A and B are shown apart, each in its own frame.
Chain A
Amino acid sequence: MAKLVALALKDLRVLTADKGNVFWVFGFPLLFALLFGAVYAGAGKGPSGMKLAVVDEDQSEFSQLYVTHLESEEALKVSRVDREQALTQVRKGWIAAAVVLRPGFGDGFSGFFDANNPKLQIASDPGQKMQAAYLEGLLAKAQFEVMAKRFRDRQWMRGQMDTWRGEIQRASGPLGTDASVYLRFFDSMDKFLTDVNDQTYQGGLGNGVLNVAKLDVQQEYDGPRTPFQITFPQAILWAILGCVATFAISIVRERTTGTFQRLRIGPISQADILAGKGLACFLTCALVIGLLVAVGKLVFKVPIGSWAMFLLGAVCTCLCFVGLMMLVSTLGKTEQSVGGAGWAILMVLAMFGGAMMPLAFMPSWMRSISHISPIKWGILAMEGGIWRGFTLPEMLLPCGVLLAFGSVFFALGVLMLRRQ
């Protein structure tokens, strides 16, 4: 055992003596986790607000009040432009939609409810129906709240009723007998507005905002709580791939420089030499996992659902990739050939295994192929402990596949090494 430990420690010293190795094994995976974690985090938040261009052709006091109200809406990012600019921006896809306040928009209720000649126009892509409906809702809400403000202005209300009274008196025909009913209503209303005190009037109208009570209900969600829960297992796999490539090349280097032969003529069996290499690779993988998890936990607050399951997955992953390292080391007779062939194979495995892009984002045919990549099972096993909430029986599948892969790789590697 002392000889195995000596072999492993020697490999760790050789590994850390080369700054390039240290970067690929420790630095690059950390950068990967941080970069893609930040990318996914940004993607998860969604847009901060719908981009909306507003064209105020009315330029009335009311229309300006309305635009100001839209600008205060958190869900919208409003810009004031002219009609041509607005339509161009929508056409180019630079903004989600444009709203045009036609002349007459601020002319009291008629501006709002004129069905024959609408004073409010929305320009948006017909394909974006949900977006348009969302915008209509926001516009209606704004309309309601601006109107409510108007209702609080008794002078404006009385002026508005004078206008309507005049229109009714000038009207002929259809209104007929109903005209006197409307006029009586306006008279009563006018008297009410004259007599009522401010406090009663304001209180009766509430605060003029469409109040919706919000009940916070935490949705049951079994997915990752933070994007780092996805990117850290990926980063760990990248680190392990770095270890695999580094140690595979180190085995070839030992063969080309003669140190492997020197070890073989020492009082140590070939099995012990290979076990020592495997132990060194395993320890390095474990070390880098520990480092990444520590950074993830302490700096990025990555929650680990079950430490026991995570450790189980990590150990099985390390064992699997020790076997793969042994096989990769036999892919050539020089460091260059093993480095080239090794990384080529590892990159393909990484691509299909979900180390570059989460499997969830892949097309179904790629997800099918991913089963043959040990990287997929490594990520799954660690995710099982981090956020998937796997139980021990559920961990058996990924861990079993990893151990099976590892055993086959190791046996093939030793066989080919002996032949060489």
Chain B
Amino acid sequence: MAIIAVEKLCKRFGDVVAVDGVGFEVGRGEMFGLLGPNGAGKTTTIGILCGLVRPDSGTIRLDGKTDPTRPDVRASLGVVPQSLALYDELTAQANLEFFGRINGLAGRRLWDRVAACLDLAGLSQRRKDRVATFSGGMKRRLNLVCSLLHEPAILLLDEPTVGVDPQSRNLIFDTIEKLRSDGRTILYTTHYMEEAQRLCDRVAILDHGKMLVLDTVANLIAQHGGISHIEVGLDEAPGDPEELASRLGVGDLGLEGKTIRFQTREPAQALATLNQCGVRYKTLKVDTANLEDVFLNLTGRRLRD
């Protein structure tokens, strides 16, 4: 049964249609991605899900409850906002204690959860330092764990890696993957296709408020990603290039010295065929399709345009 169910969600700000008939379901324990360029409607959708924005139409169901503007419904949510929402004047520990209390924690459980979250963010050594002294990455990690204090069933992450250095980004990914392995349901918005591809079980691609497609990453690439480009450096030139092309199932096999080039929708299958044919190769370069290609093929634009 879906823990998040969104149906025909619409939201308009004046003349701008921010969300236009978006609908999806997220299963318990699933990691679901909302992928799209800036202005696609991802943050508005998150805003509606956490009760900050009232939709013009459409329905939402969060763990069986329908109205996220009610505080008790939001109690099952953990929301990581896009902007850093921390008190710079306070220490990391004081921030966590405060947000823990706001989420209803107290006493021993509060202290345990604060310690666990500091550990998860890799900030235990800096817990007594003011947030103002932290790097951008440290603030991002703290921003993330502030939403985990009450161990919410549903986690909404709104572009949690914006402006983060690679090291902190990997730490955030590790944290998210750990949460996912713990069975947490995660809705993740991003405009970085690599993140969606790495982390998400299923991805919905949004553009101009509309949901273009929704499927697993593999299926999206297979269906909308287009062909992969393969370049193989052989030990020796093939004796019969036409037969090799026929066995690979490609119409056009390029041959330049000992290097062959071809395009295929199924690169894994093509490489297996090369092995079956006893072709020995020194180098292999596979440019597979990705979600960027999926978006490009669906909209004619790049994600970061």
Q: Which positions in A face B, CB cutoff 8 Å?
A: 2-3, 6-7, 10, 13-14, 17-18, 257-259, 261-269
B217 within 8 A of A: no
State whether A6 and B102 are in contact (beta carbons under 8 Å apart), knowing that A258-B83, A262-B81 are contacts in the complex.
Answer: yes
- Whose C-beta in chain A lies nearest to the C-beta of B77? A265
Q: Are A10 and B98 in contact (CB under 8 A)?
A: yes
Q: How far is the CA of A19 from the CA of B74 in the complex (A)?
A: 36
Q: Are B98 and A257 in contact (CB under 8 A)?
A: no
Within the complex, the shortest CB–CB distance from A223 to chain B, in Å, comes to 45
For B101, list chain A residues within 8 Å (CB). 2-3, 6
B64 within 8 A of A: no
Q: How far is the CA of A268 from the CA of B85 in the complex (A)?
A: 16
State whether A267 and B90 are in contact (beta carbons under 8 Å apart), knowing that A257-B85, A261-B85, A262-B85 are contacts in the complex.
Answer: no
- Whose C-beta in chain B lies nearest to the C-beta of A9? B98
Q: Are B106 and A265 in contact (CB under 8 A)?
A: no
B99 within 8 A of A: yes
Q: Are B81 and A266 in contact (CB under 8 A)?
A: no
For A257, list chain B residues within 8 Å (CB). 83-86, 88
Q: Are A14 and B90 in contact (CB under 8 A)?
A: yes
Q: A267-B74, A268-B102 are in contact. List 15 more A-B contacts (CB 8 A).
A: A3-B104, A13-B94, A17-B89, A257-B83, A257-B84, A257-B85, A257-B88, A259-B85, A263-B102, A264-B52, A265-B50, A265-B52, A266-B103, A267-B72, A267-B75
Q: Are B89 and A14 in contact (CB under 8 A)?
A: yes
Q: How far is the CA of A268 from the CA of B74 in the complex (A)?
A: 8
Per-residue 0/1 for B47-76: is the Cβ within 8 Å of any A Cβ (1 yes, 0 no)? 000111000000000000000000110110
For B106, list chain A residues within 8 Å (CB). 2
State whether A17 and B98 are in contact (beta carbons under 8 Å apart), knowing that A261-B52, A265-B79, A268-B71 are contacts in the complex.
Answer: no
Q: How far is the CA of A7 from the CA of B101 in the complex (A)?
A: 9
What number of A-B contacts does a CB cutoff of 8 Å give?
Answer: 69
- Whose C-beta in chain A lies nearest to the C-beta of B106? A2
Within the complex, the shortest CB–CB distance from B156 to chain A, in Å, comes to 9
Q: Which positions in B face A, CB cutoff 8 Å?
A: 50-52, 71-72, 74-75, 77, 79, 81, 83-90, 94, 98-99, 101-104, 106, 130, 146
Which residue from A2, A13, A262 sits with its C-beta under 8 Å from B90? A13
State whether A269 and B89 are in contact (beta carbons under 8 Å apart), knowing that A3-B101, A264-B52 are contacts in the complex.
Answer: no
For A264, list chain B residues within 8 Å (CB). 51-52
For A262, list chain B residues within 8 Å (CB). 79, 81, 85, 99, 146
State whether A266 and B102 are in contact (beta carbons under 8 Å apart), knowing that A13-B90, A18-B89, A261-B52 are contacts in the complex.
Answer: yes
- Interchain residue pairs with CB less than 8 A apart (18): A2-B101, A3-B101, A10-B90, A18-B89, A257-B86, A257-B88, A258-B83, A259-B85, A261-B81, A262-B79, A262-B99, A265-B52, A265-B81, A266-B71, A266-B74, A266-B99, A266-B102, A268-B71
Within the complex, the shortest CB–CB distance from A122 to chain B, in Å, comes to 69
For A14, list chain B residues within 8 Å (CB). 87, 89-90
Within the complex, the shortest CB–CB distance from A217 to chain B, in Å, comes to 59
For B51, list chain A residues within 8 Å (CB). 264-265
For B74, list chain A residues within 8 Å (CB). 265-267
For B79, list chain A residues within 8 Å (CB). 262, 265
- Whose C-beta in chain B lies nearest to the C-beta of A17? B89
- Whose C-beta in chain A lies nearest to the C-beta of B150? A267
For A267, list chain B residues within 8 Å (CB). 71-72, 74-75, 102-104
For B84, list chain A residues within 8 Å (CB). 257-258
Which residue from A259, A266, A269 sits with its C-beta under 8 Å from B86? A259
Q: How far is the CA of A261 from the CA of B83 in the complex (A)?
A: 10
Within the complex, the shortest CB–CB distance from B154 to chain A, in Å, comes to 12
- Whose C-beta in chain B lies nearest to the C-beta of A262? B85
Q: How far is the CA of A17 from the CA of B103 in the complex (A)?
A: 24
Q: Are A7 and B94 in contact (CB under 8 A)?
A: no
Within the complex, the shortest CB–CB distance from B178 to chain A, in Å, comes to 22
Q: Are A6 and B98 in contact (CB under 8 A)?
A: yes
